[in-house]
Amino acid sequence: MKKSTKIILFTFLLVALISSAYASIITGDIITGKAASQQTTVSLVVDNDYPYLYIVNPENRSGNQYPYNLFNLNNLSLNYTAFDPTTPITGAWYNINNGENISIPITTNTTILAPNGTVTLNLFVNDSVNHINTTSTIFEVNASIGWFAYITKYNGASTNLTLLTIQGKEAMQNISNLTLEISDHGKIVFNEPINISRNIVQFASLHSIIDDYSTIYSSNVPAIAYVYINPDMLPEFNKSATIYLYNLSLYGTNIFSDPRIRKDGEPCSSPDCTINSYTNGTLIFTVAEAGALYQIEETTATEGGTTTTIVHSSGGGGTRTVTTEVYSESKIVPDKTELLVSLKQGETKKEYITITNTDDETASLILLSPNIPHLLKISETAIVLEPGESKLIEIDFIAPEDIAPQLYLGTLDIQGKTKRQIFLAVDIESKHPLMDVKTEIPSKFLEVAPGEEIYFTAFLYSLGKEGKFDTSIEYKILSQEGELIFSEHETIAVETQTSFVKSIKLPENIKEGKYILYISATYNNERASSSSFFEVTTQKTTSRYSTALLIILIMFVISIITYFTIYVYRKNNHNNENTSSSPMLKNSKYLT
């Protein structure tokens, strides 16, 4: 074999090796990582018996206290899940109290007419081979009563909502001067009539909605005062109101020399926020819409990129003036950006976060969870951090006994002059699940680009169930805001344990941000589940394309070098051949 041929073959072999090594970067077809390389066992059983059927709403809450198995309207939303992995579902119908069967759309939410009294709802589905499955739920209906809007945290001059509930819907539709008061902190008096005769069918928790999604807080040391009403969960209360905040004085002197109001982190002035008076430590102000977070702070004057703040000393030693730079970004840094907690019904668990003030001025912070307050209790909801100071916050996550086993998403908001959020995911399983579920996302897929596939390994373990049985598996991908990005069902047979690798292709138009993969396994109405965070970023796409371009450039350079090497080699070889074949040199006496 000629030397030139060897060089060409060697070059192409080198290029082929480099291309193979980076094939996964260019195409994404090769899976690496421990989860993908393990030997796995997958058992698939054809389900020819019964379709899977589950009633989501109205659910059977007969074990709960009044009124949580009671609905105050006759037209109820029927929401159910039904599927069959092998044969299509061809029919769905229901009856009430074993009466006439009524056909309904297949796997589509609909409305049913339920009479007053005890209601047994029987739901049926069948598949194309006429295998029928049925399930039932029992509840009470009384269309004359109102929303059971009881309160426990509010006292003093608060309106007696329990009495209004007993009086019925009519009494709850036009409540004048409705008042919520926490006697040690302040009160809210609504300036417009409030209608709280909503349908209680929307809620299934033993926690008071008003208690969970509103609060009043005031303190003189440290100087923090705020009022919060969640406008999404309590839209009835998003009306004009007069707010009273108590105890905002120290040693007979008001702790704020020139108070101002922030609404959801932004300065708020008239007509949206109007301070009426501030005497003897009680600040009174009016807001156009009570559904927001209102904070009280000292007025600051901003000049030339600095703020001058007058701060009262807690020791009674007068005031001090602090001048600092104005920052547009938050200097409040939590040690976590997301927190995933797994609980069983009736279980509690402690988690901790550390919050650090990296600014050079004192920060007054409010901590709250606007989405899932009934699932957690924060050790301190109002804190003050000096420059450079850190504080450990304890959070108790609570899964009520009656709560539906599913994934609950929310945020922990750290509100100062700017807001930081920690993504919360509370994964609640049945109290006595018959299975255990684990997920593992290889590190390669913890960051993925839009349109790519995310690979993961699922592990299913039987917890004492003997023999092989079919379990319903559900896969979901949700955004931080709770938007459902992907959903899929399948049935898998499990004996003792099984594991399998699965991939999900993400939409091309998916937004950048944090997402959560949620897997649940349901057998005999008991649910086990597992969740994992991952991130969608376009930087990975850019990096992949940059790497591909770099590979192409390297291959091009190697080809150029190879070409010139062969060219020079052939030229030199040609010259040598010409010299050796010269008659003059052949007869020279200098040749040996």
Q: Is 44 within the bounds of a domain? A: no
345-362 pLDDT tens trace? 999 999 999 999 999 888
**Nearest to residue 364, comparing CAs of 287, 430, 298?**
298
Co-location of 116 and 238 in the same domain? no
Residue 150 lies in a domain: no
Instruction: Give a yes or no: residue 39 inside a domain.
Output: no
Domain assignment of residue 9, yes or no: yes
Is there a single domain that holds both residue 451 and residue 558?
A: yes
Least confident interval from 79-88, 475-484, 552-561: 552-561
Q: Do 466 and 539 lie in a common domain?
A: yes
Q: 573 in a domain, yes or no?
A: no
pLDDT attached to residue 199: 65
Mean pLDDT, rounded, for 223-251: 94
Residue 569: predicted pLDDT: 64
Phi first, then psi: what are they for 573, rounded to 5°? -65, -40
Task: Judge if 191 and 282 occupy the same domain.
Answer: yes
- Last residue within a domain, chosen from 280, 303, 325: 325
Residues 426 and 436 in one domain: no
Boundary of a domain, candidates 276, 294, 325: 325
- Give the count of beta carbons closer than 10 Å to the beta carbon of residue 541: 14
Secondary structure class of 165 (helix, strand, coil): helix
Percent pLDDT > 70 in the chain is 76
In angstroms, the Cα distances linking 313 to 221, 316, 318, 580 are: 10, 6, 6, 102
Average pLDDT of every residue of the chain: 81
Collapsing DSSP to helix, strand or coil, 182 comes out as strand
Whether 343 shows a pLDDT value over 60: the answer reads yes
**364 and 293, same structural domain?**
no
Same domain, 384 and 522: no
CATH number for the domain including 349? 2.60.40.10
Both 505 and 539 in one domain: the answer is yes
Q: Is residue 590 part of a domain?
A: no
Question: Vertex 345, ends 342 and 351: CA angle to 5°?
Answer: 35
Q: Which domain holds residue 267?
A: 161-325
Q: Is residue 192 part of a domain?
A: yes
Q: Which of 374, 400, 431 is where one domain is finished?
A: 431
Categorize the per-residue pLDDT at 453 as very low, low, confident or very high, splitting at 50, 70 and 90. Answer: very high
Number of folded domains that form the chain: 4
In our burial notation (b when 16+ CB lie closer than 10 A, e otherwise), range 29-54 reads eebebebbeeeeeeeeeebeeebbbb
Query: Can you state the angle between helices 539-580 and 3-21, rounded to 10 degrees?
Result: 180
Do 414 and 441 fall within a single domain? no
Cα-based angle 445, 449, 453 (whole degrees, multiple of 5): 55
> Given a cut of 90, is residue 341 above it in pLDDT?
yes
For residue 569, being part of any structural domain is answered with no
d(CA 225, CA 186): 9
* Lowest mean pLDDT, pick from 157-171, 198-212, 242-256, 376-390: 198-212
Residues 424 and 361 in one domain: yes
Average pLDDT of the segment spanning 486-499: 89
Report the 10 Å Cβ neighbour count for 211: 17
Whether the pLDDT of residue 577 is over 70: the answer is no
Q: Are 201 and 251 in contact (CB under 8 A)?
A: no
CATH of the domain at 198: 3.30.1610
Shared domain for 241 and 335, answered yes or no, is no
* Contact (CB, 8 A) for 390 and 354: yes
Q: Taking the complete model, does pTM exceed 0.75, yes or no?
A: no
- In this prediction, residues 551-568 reach a mean pLDDT of 72
171 and 255 inside one domain: yes
Query: pLDDT by residue (tens digit) across 171-185?
Result: 888 999 999 999 999
